[in-house]
């Protein structure tokens, strides 16, 4: 392992051909050759490799996180990328990082994190009178990652979207006693409700009201955002938000809408279907909460281990040789959920696909022989699934001054869909995204939007840096599920996204 760790301690500087600097800044024939060099088969091979069982789902803070980081770093080195800093730091083990402290480089970033794993034999049972339903992990439910160990049985109370806002006249807990109960709430919010509501807000309200656990689900009526991102309605792997010291995390599970409908409709037909209830909530903003008459039994173990999160960085210098040149940053997270509740989460579409596209764009640009006007910094982030930890770490300790970052391109779940590309633009004219589509020959395949949340571009946008987020459009039926395997990934979509990312990077790196 020592020799392999050295890869993360230093990437050798390989000079680009001197003749490259004499080429025109927007050499269309060079771009055409670079685009033609992109290989869908090579990208699919990388997706297959990263989602294989020996990477064990690449959970942040585990040895598998380090293993996948080494895979990326070795590829960066073999393609001649330059480290984004110069001097390695001491390899002396310090604190929780232990021997991995040698990874603390100006171009690599590490941070101590907590890795939580749900035990292999979770239980969720529903009972109503003499009727008992034993739910199946992965199909009917998944414990929220980060949940504490739990062993409770309690009545279930449906609380709509789980919003308590008496000031604005929308309190779904009004008149309800949920103390020592399990609450069931829908993901998201009614589209007409004006305030922003996070899952953490719902969990906090439930805890403050005395609930001992929660169940949540994506409702049968999808929001415009959920539809645009191609989300399914099945139970999703999801990290909960840690509570403050005085407010421990509330245990919970994500359940399927079919299981939720059984709970919702158990008392009588009076309440109607879950779909009807959600449609009325969306239309009227009038609470539809009630005690379901169903009891739920939740039981599982969870273990927390302190580990190390690893970001891997590499750079292709531009023509600007000043001490602080402008740069374009391309990022893709490589982490996923590891093994949870007895299931392996391979993370092929999310986000081995984005990582494979990143590596293929690195190869095409590094081997093009063209030195673009601006530097290009490639970032393989970890910690995205655990609250965007890797991108937030980068912003606290940027490899280059943030003021010199002209744009951040983020590539995420980019291997499944309908053949179109969803592109979210923030802080830049949409014409830039359109022009890149024309360069890539994909102008008629783009669906352009403004900023959309969710992904490593979000902290950059909040820091005032222009962002372009790219996902493959259409349904992603395996999103955050154990069925997200390499067999579901489509070569032609990898090829199209890589063409667009390469053309966009070329365009931004040479723009005035």
In this structure, the dihedral spanned by the alpha carbons of residues 451, 256, 143 and 417, taken in order and rounded to 10 degrees, is -40
Confidence band of 238 (pLDDT split at 50, 70, 90): confident
pLDDT of residue 97 exceeding 80: no
Confidence band of 150 (pLDDT split at 50, 70, 90): very high
Average pLDDT estimate for 107-133: 89
pLDDT of residue 194 exceeding 50: yes
Average pLDDT estimate for 145-162: 95
pLDDT of residue 104 exceeding 50: no
Residue 7, C-beta contacts closer than 8 angstroms, at least 6 positions apart: 70, 73, 74, 77
Task: Record the tokens describing residue 94, joined without a space.
Answer: 């310090």
Would you state the pLDDT for residue 3? 40
Beta-carbon neighbour count of residue 7 at 10 Å? 21
pLDDT of residue 26 exceeding 50: no
DSSP string, 270-303: GG--HHHHHHHHHHH-----EEEEEEEEEEE-EE
> Nearest-CA neighbor of 419 among 401, 444, 451?
444
pLDDT of residue 60 exceeding 80: yes
Residue 398, C-beta contacts closer than 8 angstroms, at least 6 positions apart: 405
Percent of the chain with pLDDT over 90: 71
Collapse the DSSP code of 254 into the 3-class scheme (helix H, G, I; strand E, B; otherwise coil) and give the result. strand
Average pLDDT estimate for 85-103: 36
Confidence band of 225 (pLDDT split at 50, 70, 90): low
487 DSSP assignment? G
Backbone angles phi, psi at 185, to 5 degrees: -140, 155
- Give the DSSP H/E element, type plus range, for residue 344: strand 343-345
Would you state the pLDDT for residue 357? 98
Exposed (0-12), middle (13-18) or buried (19+): which is 125, by Cβ within 10 Å?
middle
Confidence band of 99 (pLDDT split at 50, 70, 90): very low
pLDDT of residue 107 exceeding 60: no
Residue 278 has, within 13 A of its CA and on its CB side, a CA count of: 23
Would you state the pLDDT for residue 223? 74
pLDDT of residue 227 exceeding 70: no
| Nearest-angstrom CA–CA distance, 173 and 166 | 9
Confidence band of 361 (pLDDT split at 50, 70, 90): very high
Q: CB–CB of 468/410 below 8 Å?
A: yes
Average pLDDT estimate for 10-33: 49
Four-residue CA torsion sign, 138, 141, 144, 147: negative
| Nearest-angstrom CA–CA distance, 240 and 341 | 15
Sheet holding 123-128, edge to edge: 131-134, 123-128, 290-300, 150-158, 182-186, 213-217, 252-255, 141-143
Regarding predicted confidence, which is higher, 46 or 100? 46
Task: Record the tokens describing residue 160, joined without a space.
Answer: 């709509």
Confidence band of 478 (pLDDT split at 50, 70, 90): very high
Backbone angles phi, psi at 169, to 5 degrees: 75, 25
Q: CB–CB of 335/167 below 8 Å?
A: no
Four-residue CA torsion sign, 453, 328, 382, 490: positive
Beta pairing partners, 445:
none
Exposed (0-12), middle (13-18) or buried (19+): which is 402, by Cβ within 10 Å?
middle
DSSP string, 54-69: GGTT-BTTSHHHHHHH
Would you state the pLDDT for residue 247? 47
Q: CB–CB of 56/369 below 8 Å?
A: no
| Nearest-angstrom CA–CA distance, 7 and 60 | 20
Would you state the pLDDT for residue 98? 38
Average pLDDT estimate for 456-471: 97
Confidence band of 228 (pLDDT split at 50, 70, 90): low
Four-residue CA torsion sign, 368, 374, 380, 386: negative
Average pLDDT estimate for 35-50: 98
Exposed (0-12), middle (13-18) or buried (19+): which is 113, by Cβ within 10 Å?
buried
Give pLDDT tens digits for 66-82: 999 999 999 998 999 98
Question: From start to end of 73-149, where are the E strands?
Answer: 108-118, 123-128, 131-134, 141-143
Q: Which of 84-98, 229-243, 480-494 has the highest mean pLDDT?
A: 480-494
Would you state the pLDDT for residue 269? 57
Task: Record the tokens describing residue 385, joined without a space.
Answer: 């699934």
Q: CB–CB of 156/294 below 8 Å?
A: yes
Average pLDDT estimate for 315-323: 87
Residue 449, C-beta contacts closer than 8 angstroms, at least 6 positions apart: 228, 422, 423, 424, 425
Average pLDDT estimate for 82-90: 50
Give pLDDT tens digits for 403-447: 999 999 999 999 999 999 999 999 999 999 999 999 999 999 999
pLDDT of residue 222 exceeding 60: yes
| Nearest-angstrom CA–CA distance, 133 and 217 | 18
Mean pLDDT of the residues in the chain:
87
Average pLDDT estimate for 463-484: 95
| Nearest-angstrom CA–CA distance, 384 and 368 | 31
Residue 237, C-beta contacts closer than 8 angstroms, at least 6 positions apart: 142, 145, 254, 337, 340, 345, 385, 480, 481, 482
pLDDT of residue 360 exceeding 90: yes
pLDDT of residue 248 exceeding 80: no
| Nearest-angstrom CA–CA distance, 209 and 194 | 23
Would you state the pLDDT for residue 239? 86
Would you state the pLDDT for residue 374? 95
Would you state the pLDDT for residue 108? 67
Would you state the pLDDT for residue 320? 85
Confidence band of 134 (pLDDT split at 50, 70, 90): very high
Average pLDDT estimate for 27-44: 93
pLDDT of residue 7 exceeding 80: no
Which domains are delineated in the chain? 5-9+23-116+304-510 (3.40.630.10), 122-300 (3.50.30.30)
| Nearest-angstrom CA–CA distance, 371 and 319 | 6
């Amino acid at each position: 392992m020592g020799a392999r760790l050295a890869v993360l301690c230093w990437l050798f500087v390989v000079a680009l051909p001197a003749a490259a600097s004499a080429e025109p800044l927007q050499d269309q024939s060079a771009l055409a050759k670079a685009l033609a060099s992109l290989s869908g088969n090579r990208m699919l091979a990388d997706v297959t490799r990263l989602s294989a069982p020996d990477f064990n789902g690449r959970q942040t803070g585990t040895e598998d996180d380090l293993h996948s980081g080494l895979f990326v770093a070795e590829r960066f080195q073999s393609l001649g990328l330059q480290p984004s800093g110069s001097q390695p730091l001491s390899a002396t083990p310090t604190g929780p990082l232990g021997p991995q402290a040698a990874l603390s480089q100006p171009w690599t970033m590490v941070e101590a994190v907590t890795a939580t794993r749900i035990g292999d034999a979770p239980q969720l049972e529903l009972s109503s009178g003499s009727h008992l339903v034993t739910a199946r992990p992965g199909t009917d439910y998944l414990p929220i990652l980060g949940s504490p160990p739990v062993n409770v049985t309690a009545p279930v109370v449906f609380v709509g979207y789980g919003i308590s806002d008496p000031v604005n006249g929308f309190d779904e807990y009004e008149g309800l006693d949920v103390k020592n109960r399990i609450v069931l709430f829908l993901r998201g919010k009614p589209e007409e409700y004006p305030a922003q509501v996070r899952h953490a807000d719902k969990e906090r309200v439930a805890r403050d009201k005395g609930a001992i656990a929660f169940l949540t689900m994506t409702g049968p009526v999808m929001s415009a955002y959920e539809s645009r991102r191609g989300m399914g309605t099945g139970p999703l792997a999801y990290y909960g938000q840690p509570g403050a010291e005085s407010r421990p995390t509330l245990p919970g599970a994500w359940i399927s809408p079919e299981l939720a409908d059984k709970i919702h409709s158990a008392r009588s037909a009076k309440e109607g279907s879950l779909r009807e209830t959600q449609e009325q909530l969306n239309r009227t903003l009038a609470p539809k909460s009630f005690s379901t008459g169903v009891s739920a039994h939740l039981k599982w173990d969870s273990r927390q281990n302190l580990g190390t999160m690893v970001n891997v960085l590499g750079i292709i210098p531009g023509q600007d040789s000043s001490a602080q040149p402008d740069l374009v940053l391309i990022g893709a997270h490589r982490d996923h959920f590891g093994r949870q509740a007895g299931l392996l989460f391979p993370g092929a579409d999310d986000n081995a696909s984005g990582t494979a596209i990143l590596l293929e764009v690195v190869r095409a640009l590094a081997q093009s022989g063209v030195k673009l006007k601006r530097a290009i910094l490639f970032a393989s982030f970890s910690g995205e699934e655990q609250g965007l930890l890797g991108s937030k770490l980068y912003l606290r300790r940027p490899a280059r001054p943030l003021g010199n970052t002209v744009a951040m391109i983020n590539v995420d779940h980019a291997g499944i869909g309908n053949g179109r590309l969803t592109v979210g633009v923030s802080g830049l004219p949409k014409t830039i995204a359109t022009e890149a589509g024309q360069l890539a020959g994909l102008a008629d395949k783009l669906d352009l939007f403004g900023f959309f949340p969710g992904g490593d571009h979000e902290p950059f946008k909040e820091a005032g840096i222009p962002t372009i987020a790219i996902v493959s459009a259409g349904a992603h039926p395996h999103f955050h599920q154990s069925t997200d395997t390499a067999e579901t990934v489509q070569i032609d979509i990898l090829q199209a996204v890589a063409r667009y990312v390469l053309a966009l990077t070329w365009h931004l790196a040479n723009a005035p």
